[in-house]
Amino acid sequence: MGMLLAFAPFLAFVVIERLVGVPAGLAAGALLSAALLLRDAVSRTRHVKVLEIGTFMLFGGLTVIALLPGAAQWSIAAVRLRADAGLLLIVLASIAIGRPFTLQYAREEVSSDLWGRPEFVRTNYVITAAWTAAFAVMVIADLALIYLPALPRSVSIVSTVLALVGAVKFTGWYPEREPSAAAGQ
pLDDT band at 144 (very low <50, low <70, confident <90, very high): very high
pLDDT for residue 184 is more than 90: no
**pLDDT average, residue stretch 10-37:** 93
Rounded distance between C-alpha atoms, residue 10 and residue 157, angstroms: 15
pLDDT band at 183 (very low <50, low <70, confident <90, very high): very low
99 torsion bin: left (phi>0), alpha (psi -120 to 50), beta (else): beta
Rounded distance between C-alpha atoms, residue 44 and residue 65, angstroms: 35
Highest mean pLDDT of the ranges 70-74, 87-91, 111-115, 178-182: 87-91
Residue 159 confidence (pLDDT): 94
